[in-house]
Structure 1
């Protein structure tokens, strides 16, 4: 698995990793983490956390000069672009890897998805606009890629590393960003779709990249089939897209309690310590029966 984060996203990464282990208990996992700049003690602590989950952590640092001129905001830091060139920094022995954003949780096993046939495509990903043709047409015009059938979300991205090493040229990415920087609304995702959208194998978002914002729309489009019971049984990755995130205290939207459960269990050791250090955690009389 591949992740790319800034240092203030380690808690979210722990939550995602814990949900993956909880729902894939028998699988072996190597976690490749791309970082920008210097490693901190907080990030180094992830190695122990991964070990506790029987996962092996590999840290990869990207030269700071890469994507220095690409559009960036607080919400979209430079690290979002790293998935586009990760194949150049991963071991040659890997022929595929699954990139995941850290604003999602795993609900079910994903071995079948990981081992799917790429059918000579560079990636496998889901579109959140497959049934909304107006949005798809708008993005085709905006990005100038008329050969692509969909606009794909880059938060769950199965990467065909062998082909990517052969066909992706970082200079093409730089050139597109420089020419179109003012038109990039979702920077890395726009670049991915503009340059490689017609080389992405489409998978079902209800299974592999469920956008939590569209619960009612999904039910409507699927004749009520994709209710909460269906999601818990079938959906693999539940993705909290958009600016409102479930780790914020004010978040009270659909699936908030589910995310906060995984967050608490994944991080409770460190949270307990922080509360104790701040004198916030109430004392418990261990002799008193529960």
Structure 2
């Protein structure tokens, strides 16, 4: 029997609908796997949690919502740029049950269009996380972020990550996060992602972005960088995760990418399961 795949999401109630679309896309493209969905949150109303649980039940999955213990953030810096939700994925090891050893963290603004199990079964090789870079046509962005943050490794997108929770529990400390906020506030553009890279970039195993974290805005960049190989047919066959980074989001009528219509199709399909 295959090992169940544990999925972690951390949202507020404003992202409930995108999350449900994402879950539908997992279900439709991973029919041979069973999932448990873990939701870390602070104040999502029970009726909305019930809606997620209903959807998971339709899929024959498990669903568990974990309300964050306020005491965990007694010393957290939570000014406007750093709401408590920023800490949830960074501190997932402390928040989730100790019996849980590994999760696949997913942002809600994604579609799953091929099986996730190959990512779930990746050998972390002693690393704490898997993540992908968004390099563009060249790797210039890595150099820019190395200068900005004073790092010497690739700059990773934090939207899709396999997490070794025992290692997170041993390595990630809220005091270290606070120190970075205190001392580097002026250079932090995407606070939780920047902090992840600054503190823990050397604990990350890189996985191919074109498969596991495809930036849906950048179809032309992928096509150019691959010398025409990674066309729409290649994406349909090989890419597992489409990530709708930036603004506008695919549920916004102003969004217009190569994959907007695909997202709209999954959004309509979701109505069959909620």
Give the TM-score taking structure 1 as reference length.
0.86
In the other structure, the counterpart of 2:186 is 182
Q: Distance in 2 between matches of 1:158 and 1:269?
A: 27
Shift of residue 72, structure 1, vs aligned partner: 4.2
Would the aligned equivalents of 1:20 and 1:107 in 2 still touch at CA under 8 Å? Answer: yes
Secondary structure in 1 matching 2:267: helix
Quote the residue 1:18 is aligned against. Answer: 24
Q: Is 1:69 aligned with 2:77?
A: yes
Q: CA deviation at 1:90?
A: 1.2
Give the count of matched residue pairs.
266
Q: Which one is further off, 40-49 or 2-11?
A: 40-49
Residue matched to 1:36: 42
1:223-267 deviation digits (Å, cap 9, x = unpaired): 111111100100000000001101012322220110011011113
Inter-partner Cα distance in structure 1 for 2:80 and 2:46: 22
- Name the counterpart of 2:121: 115
2:57 maps to which residue? Answer: 51
1:259-270 equivalence runs, <5 A: 259-267=263-271
Q: Which is greater in Rg?
A: 1
Query: After the TM superposition, which residues 163-182 of structure 1 pair with which residues of structure 2 at under 5 Å, given as runs?
Result: 163-182=167-186
- Aligned pairs for 1:1-290 (under 5 A) are 1-37=7-43, 39-64=45-70, 66=73, 69-70=77-78, 72=80, 78-129=84-135, 132-146=138-152, 148=153, 150-267=154-271
Give ranges in structure 1 of 5+ residues lacking alignment: 271-290
Moved more, 245-254 or 109-118: 245-254
Q: State how far apart, in whole Å, the 2-side matches of 1:51 and 1:269 are.
A: 10
Task: Tell me: CA distance 1:252–1:137, structure 2 relative to 1, closer, same or farther (3 Å).
Answer: closer
CA contact (8 A) 1:145 1:195 kept: no
User: Which stretch shifts more, 103-112 or 157-166?
Assistant: 157-166
Once the two structures are TM-superposed, the CA of residue 39 in structure 1 deviates from its matched residue by 3.0
Matched-pair contact (CA < 8 Å) for 2:55–2:273 = no
CA contact (8 A) 1:152 1:197 kept: yes
Deviations 1:20-75, CA, capped at 9 Å, x for gaps: 010001211010001123534123321111111111111011134638634545xx
- What TM-score results when the alignment is normalised by the length of structure 2? 0.91
Deviates more, 1:136-145 or 1:118-127: 136-145
Change in Cα spacing, 1:68 to 1:39, as seen in structure 2 (3 Å) is farther
Question: What is the Cα-based RMSD across aligned positions, in Å?
Answer: 1.8
Distance 1:72 1:157, change over 3 A: farther
